Structure 1
Amino acid sequence: MRAPPATAWLVLRVLLFSTHEILTSNRWLMHPLLFSPLYRRYLWGGRRFATALGRTLPPGDDFAESWELVDREADQSVVAAGALKGSTLGQLVQSHGRDLLGRHSPQKAFPLLFKFLDANRDLSVQVHPDDARAATLGAPDLGKTEAWYIVDAIPGSRIYAGLREGIDHRSFAEAVRAGECEASLHSFEAKPGDCIFIPAGTVHAIGAGLLVAEIQQSSDVTYRLHDWNRTGSDGKPRPLHIEAGIDAVTKQGPVEPTRSVPTHDLLADPVRRLVTSDYFTFDHVRPTSTWTVGGDDRCHFLTAIDGSVSFDPEWRLPQLVRGQSVLLPASIGQQPLHPMPGSRPVQLLHVCMP
């Protein structure tokens, strides 16, 4: 038998190498990641994930949180559609980190957490430490900086954020120890479209009647300072963390909302920057035509709070509708999102790492 010519061997080697690259590369697997929500049920929850976001919920009126993006040891977002269906976010961070996170890789875990909160009752007055103070206090996590976007609000609902003018750390500490800190808190009536940036070290509480979208560092370190003198499901007051919480308060003065009101031509630029921080950027987007996002070597997270958009047909994925979220991996490049004809005007929340 005659040996194949050298050019044939070269072609064969190229084909074998290309096949190996396809089979071992993470890039070809990546696609827009739609996750199944994780629900948390607490006494202060309600049913607005169904009534305001169009979700189908089991019976019950205590659905308090819906985690849309999470990578923690005990809680994992699971891909709901596409080639990676069934994979957890944590698995993808470990096995596909460069393609998922781009220039922000490597990471031990996805560094951000996104959730919806349905506050049917007032949440406790609390504070999260910053990274350095969390380490000093022996906390198991990093600190937590977060931001809220008010999706829906019953008239008169309030946000508590920061301290009133003239309240210093010492007087606030005395009020907390006396169980009388309400008068020290800065508050305002919240309206849909408000965004409130809560840096670590800021005293805060979400009032009853609010549906909130929250982006935060992926941390669970919370010090409860006041719980409105109520009892838990066991009939006993919930534990407070007075001294650790007082020590974690590093921000004084009031926090005011940023209001997402269109002030420019949406056709020219549909993006309104709400928050820029060391941990994330947070935008409100109102695309009136195809809007392209990505292609900058980082992942992009989007939540639809009104209307619906479609992905390019190549992905064979369902539309992103009100109340649903998607994570766009860094490696898939620029992605056009197409507002669906006949849908309500599209509103998206957009999160990136800086």
Structure 2
Amino acid sequence: MIKLEPLKMNPIMRDYLWGGRKLSERLGKTIEEGQTAAESWEIVDRDDAQSVVADGPWKGQTLRQLIAEQKREMLGDCDSNSHFPLLLKYLDCQRVLSVQVHPTDEYGLKMPQPDLGKTEAWYIVDAEPDSVIYAGLKEGVDRLMLAEAIQDQQTEKVLHEIRPNAGDCIFIPAGTVHALGAGLLVAEIQQASDTTFRLYDWNRVGADGKPRPLHIEQALAVTNYDSGPVYPVSPKDVADGWQQLVDCDKFQLLKASECGSYPIPSADRFVILSVPCGKALLRWAGGTRSLEVGDSVLVPAAVTDVEVVIEEPHSTVLRMHGPADTPCLA
């Protein structure tokens, strides 16, 4: 059998009412002339969305097929029961997104159509002046106060606001009320879930001219009222020059943004790499691959001696994988 190597997938483009052209202009994604796109799903394994290998010996195979055929080689010690546990996407936010919240795994698995909960993290690739992120509730806001604000169509008054800068990282655990504002280009790593409860949509209508559905009771039920405001994370220097942005029970997110060589420790687990800015070179035992801006690759667990080399200033590489010490169940 041919040895596995880092896998580039064809992005899955999705458009919503807040999309634009930046995924093409800044990240090289293919968007037809005159069209817009809101999201580029880079790596995903869901029943309704399957990443397909773009090139190489496995061109045309889906991520799920590869895991079914070579689970240990693909995932290592990640105990994934059914599918790949993470989803990586880029978002072009030309209008503010709906105010929403995601459930925990426990709640999600009890729904009529069971799904994972959703913990996520955003890396801000670009932020226009005065862009806003709503992240968490203001101090002291409880369920009754949130419900009243929704009823009065003044939800934003109880939300904590952040004025983000490029390079910021915002961690959004399940149960955190949030919304991305207009003028943001974002990389998002999350659990492989599409479970969203929308509690406010700025009184606008969808493409069909009708208001989009709200899920207020579910949203009120799953919101964590004790977590309070959310702020950008403080990067932590870790081994081999990497900076750790998020270390939670669902995933780890790290970045490298200076010229140099960045080894990726062999830990019998898959790694996702993505380049939101600049370019890099990926090396492993048996090969190399250039990573251009907007490129994302999945490095199977069986691939060894992996390192990222940054030679151009103003380049950033994001590194994502399952949690350090616990199985990444999916």
TM-score (norm: length of structure 2): 0.91
Give the aligned partner of residue 44 of structure 1: 18
Give the aligned partner of residue 238 of structure 1: 212
Give how far 1:178 is off.
3.3
AA paired with 2:85? Answer: P
Structure 2 residue 184 is the aligned partner of structure 1 residue 210: yes
2:273 to 268, 284, 302: 302
Cα separation, 1, equivalents of 2:225 and 2:68: 35
Cα separation, 2, equivalents of 1:139 and 1:257: 33
Give the aligned partner of residue 256 of structure 1: 231
Give how far 1:316 is off.
5.8
> Is the partner of 2:291 in helix, strand or coil?
coil
User: Deviation digits for residues 266-325 of structure 1, max 9, x if unmatched?
Assistant: 9x8431111111110111112522222141100111101222222348756641111101
2:241 to 240, 250, 270: 270
User: Deviation digits for residues 68-103 of structure 1, max 9, x if unmatched?
Assistant: 010011211111122111111111111111001101
2:70 to 65, 74, 96: 96
AA paired with 1:254? Answer: P
Contiguous gaps of at least 5 residues in structure 1: 1-22
Q: Which moved more, 1:57-66 or 1:149-158?
A: 57-66
Give the aligned partner of residue 327 of structure 2: none
1:134 to 97, 103, 108: 108
User: Deviation digits for residues 194-236 of structure 1, max 9, x if unmatched?
Assistant: 1111110110000000001101111111110000011111111
Contiguous gaps of at least 5 residues in structure 2: 324-330
**Structure 1 residues 330 and 316: CA distance shift in structure 2, 3 A:** closer
Structure richer in helix, relative to its length: 1
Q: How does 1:163-242 map to 2 (within 5 A)?
A: 163-242=137-216
Give how far 1:259 is off.
5.0
Cα separation, 2, equivalents of 1:314 and 1:277: 29
Give how far 1:158 is off.
0.3
Q: Is the 8 A contact 1:45 1:61 kept in 2?
A: no
Give the aligned partner of residue 7 of structure 2: 33
Cα separation, 2, equivalents of 1:314 and 1:76: 28
Q: Is the 8 A contact 1:308 1:344 kept in 2?
A: no
Give the aligned partner of residue 80 of structure 1: 54
**Structure 1 residues 292 and 269: CA distance shift in structure 2, 3 A:** closer
**Structure 1 residues 54 and 315: CA distance shift in structure 2, 3 A:** farther
1:328 to 299, 319, 322: 299
User: Deviation digits for residues 121-146 of structure 1, max 9, x if unmatched?
Assistant: 00000010101122344343111111
> Is the partner of 1:337 in helix, strand or coil?
strand
Report % sequence identity.
47
**Structure 1 residues 168 and 88: CA distance shift in structure 2, 3 A:** same
Structure 2 residue 293 is the aligned partner of structure 1 residue 319: no
Q: Which moved more, 1:287-296 or 1:301-310?
A: 287-296
Q: Is the 8 A contact 1:64 1:118 kept in 2?
A: yes
**Structure 1 residues 336 and 318: CA distance shift in structure 2, 3 A:** closer
AA paired with 1:278? Answer: D
AA paired with 1:171? Answer: M
Structure 2 residue 120 is the aligned partner of structure 1 residue 151: no
Give the aligned partner of residue 326 of structure 2: none
Q: Is the 8 A contact 1:98 1:105 kept in 2?
A: no
User: Deviation digits for residues 106-161 of structure 1, max 9, x if unmatched?
Assistant: 53100100000000000000010101122344343111111111000101000001
Cα separation, 2, equivalents of 1:107 and 1:55: 32
- Number of matched pairs: 322
Cα separation, 2, equivalents of 1:319 and 1:75: 26
AA paired with 2:255? Answer: H
Cα separation, 2, equivalents of 1:83 and 1:325: 18
Cα separation, 1, equivalents of 2:7 and 2:322: 17
Give the aligned partner of residue 317 of structure 2: 348
User: Deviation digits for residues 319-353 of structure 1, max 9, x if unmatched?
Assistant: 1111101111111122123334xx34431111010
Cα separation, 2, equivalents of 1:315 and 1:287: 25
Highest relative contact order (Cα 8 Å, sep 6+), 1 or 2? 2
Cα separation, 2, equivalents of 1:45 and 1:118: 6
Cα separation, 1, equivalents of 2:194 and 2:30: 27
